[in-house]
Structure 1
Amino acid sequence: MASLAGGFDDIGTVAGLDAFPVPLLTLDMDGIVRGANAAWVHAMKATRPGVPFERDVHPEDRARWQTLLRQARAGYDGARGGGVRGRLRLLHPSGDLRWFDCTVARAGVSYCVALADATQAQRREAALEARLRGALGLLDGMPGLLYRGRNNRSWTMEIVSAGCEALTGYPPEWFVDSHEHSFSQLILPDYADYVWYGVQEALAARAAFELRYCIRGADTRVKAVLEKGVGIYSEGGEVLGIEGAIFEVRDSAP
């Protein structure tokens, strides 16, 4: 494969891009590789001019790659620039899988592709996800609703244990990172300010909070609950979120 440093007159490629540390490629409108810089050749240890870029993409990610091409083609705006982005697995000639964050932009009658190696980041994310699944398995065996969430009026949840279904009537997926559903919708209006300001006062003092209030579950039945939680803080003291547990209180009203 020729280097971009030499230029590609047939598709108007700008010369001199071998100095860029990230892999850069130019493709024709059929997705055929027409040129690449030295970083791409170094990353993939192969030079194959005139073949579809898709051949380097893992078979399970080829549909995603075609979607990126379609989006780049449909969103072409020469004045605006930009591009579409996605993470793809590429097949290294050695047999290894490499993850790349891929940006595709249309430039006239060709595509420009920039790739940032995300292999180590993907492995770290996979390891973290595995640890999180293990922690959730432990949490799911405990009674009540255990959570980690954001400190906002909606009480947006990031992690919710399986016990939430017994408490609220809703599965964990109903709450997690949802813009449509939130735990705040379950809190009776008379308690909304009490819960909000109770948590904010505790966070300001960097103290644990304990609140009793009422919620209305999926079956419309009102339940008294007890919530205990703490703030999550950055090294600089910024509130990153909250975590805690919510249990039904059967013996007394809040």
Structure 2
Amino acid sequence: MPVNILLVSNSADERQKIIEALSEFNLLTASSEEEVKQVFEEHEDIYLMLLDVDTSAFDGTKLLRFLKSDEKHKYLRTIVLSDCDQRGKAVEDLTLGIVDCKQKPLNFEFLRAKVRIQAEMIKCQETIRKQAQDQTMILETIFEQVPIGIGISLDEDSDLGGANKLFSYNPEFVRICERSKEELMNIGWNAITHPEDLAEETELFLSLMRGEINRYSLDKRIMIPDGSFKWVHIISVPLHFSETDGFHYAALMQDIDKEKRTYDMLMESERSKSVLLSNLQGMAYRCKYDRDWTMEFVSSGCGSLCGCRSESLLNNKEFSYNELIAPEYRERIWRDWEKALAAKKRFHHEYEIIDANGARKWVMEMGEGVFNEDGTVEALEGIIFDISDRKAMENKLR
């Protein structure tokens, strides 16, 4: 069953990147509150929404309240996309159907894994609802074969504490935890949860028990028998059995250890790169291969080198980098870049610029081309240093 997913963002660039990353899914798009309402009128089978809240075009919380006020959208799940960490509002937002929050810049592999989890959940729920007459066979098949760990508590006094003899685990849950069903039932949920994650989940679980929220999801660490841990994504929902008292719930688990560790490594790499660039005595850049040298990225060293804010150069907002190059060097630099790219060699050149404040400076540029698979130039990347002091010293020594 294809799952319709609605992507809501007023950033065309962000929408395109997400569409490409989630190409395996049936993605609908909207960029305004009016378009969102229109899409829901035209499609009644939308159960997952990716909502970019970093916009002044509409109020994301207000939009969710409007949708959840309609009985048709009570099963709508929402993944929030934001520049800032939204997890602190988890309990409040879960009442609006928010099941996850992804912080920008987005790790698209990680986002894809999260969407797959929600899509699998939606598929399971819809399959169960539409084929209720054969639910026993379907439930058993899903429970045993679905590639998501499922644990169901049948104990009337369910909690996260000790042993739970009435907890049922499917094969995938057992595989992820690397423990037998008997061991899982004997040691309980707390024992396999990393101590640093226990308080957060306990708070969410108690809110679930009190009926304050209808589900919760989080990334947590579970302890493996050898003393190590792995990252998993958990979704917990209450279960209501007819003629049965007590609190029952299901916990769905997916192994995201590889994606999480890759993401953490990427973030650490980005942090290290940011520290390096901020301390660099020059300007790192990425630009288009055009006559303006249209800048797509410049480091913070732009201020001291070019005498302007980075934003002034990006996409030629106020002026292009070519306008800063002293006129007598422009054609020579273009020809030297042509030669370097044709030979797929590194570019190295010393020339003069006239910064935004009118100061003339000697600079040294080192860069290289970034090529597509077909060999065409996608962009240029490199670094530009201020060598005015060196040039002044050379002139004195002549």
Q: After TM superposition, is the score higher than 0.5?
A: yes
- State how 1:34-49 maps to structure 2 within 5 Å: 34=41, 36-38=43-45, 40=46, 43-44=47-48
Matched, 1:140 2:278: yes
SS state of the match for residue 37, structure 1? coil
Identify if the C-alpha distance between structure 1 residues 30 and 238 changes in structure 2 by more than 3 Å, giving closer, same or farther: closer
Query: Identical aligned pairs, as a percentage?
Result: 28
Matched, 1:161 2:299: yes
Instruction: Show structure 1 runs of 5+ residues with no match.
Output: 1-19, 45-55, 68-87, 100-118
Question: What amino acid is the match of 1:251?
Answer: R
- Structure-2 residue corresponding to 1:6: none
Q: CA–CA distance in 2 between the matches of 1:182 and 1:204?
A: 24
- Structure-2 residue corresponding to 1:120: 112
Matched, 1:222 2:360: yes
The CA deviation string for residues 31-90 of structure 1, in whole angstroms up to 9 with x for no partner, is 58656333x1xx24xxxxxxxxxxx896946853479xxxxxxxxxxxxxxxxxxxx949
- Contact 1:188–1:214 under 8 Å retained in 2: yes
Following superposition, the deviation at residue 144 of structure 1 comes to 1.1
The CA deviation string for residues 176-212 of structure 1, in whole angstroms up to 9 with x for no partner, is 2334322111001111101111111100110011111
- Structure-2 residue corresponding to 1:233: 371
- Structure-2 residue corresponding to 1:251: 390
Q: CA–CA distance in 2 between the matches of 1:160 and 1:24?
A: 31
Identify if the C-alpha distance between structure 1 residues 64 and 188 changes in structure 2 by more than 3 Å, giving closer, same or farther: same
- Contact 1:28–1:34 under 8 Å retained in 2: no
Matched, 1:192 2:192: no
Structure with bigger RCO (C-alpha 8 Å, 6+ apart): 1
SS state of the match for residue 251, structure 1? helix
Q: CA–CA distance in 2 between the matches of 1:190 and 1:132?
A: 38
Output the aligned Cα RMSD.
4.3
Matched, 1:213 2:351: yes
Q: CA–CA distance in 2 between the matches of 1:171 and 1:24?
A: 34
2:99 pairs, out of 91, 96, 99, with 96
Instruction: Show structure 2 runs of 5+ residues with no match.
Output: 1-24, 61-78, 82-92, 103-110, 116-258
Identify if the C-alpha distance between structure 1 residues 121 and 226 changes in structure 2 by more than 3 Å, giving closer, same or farther: farther
TM-score by length of 1: 0.55
| Larger relative helix fraction | 2
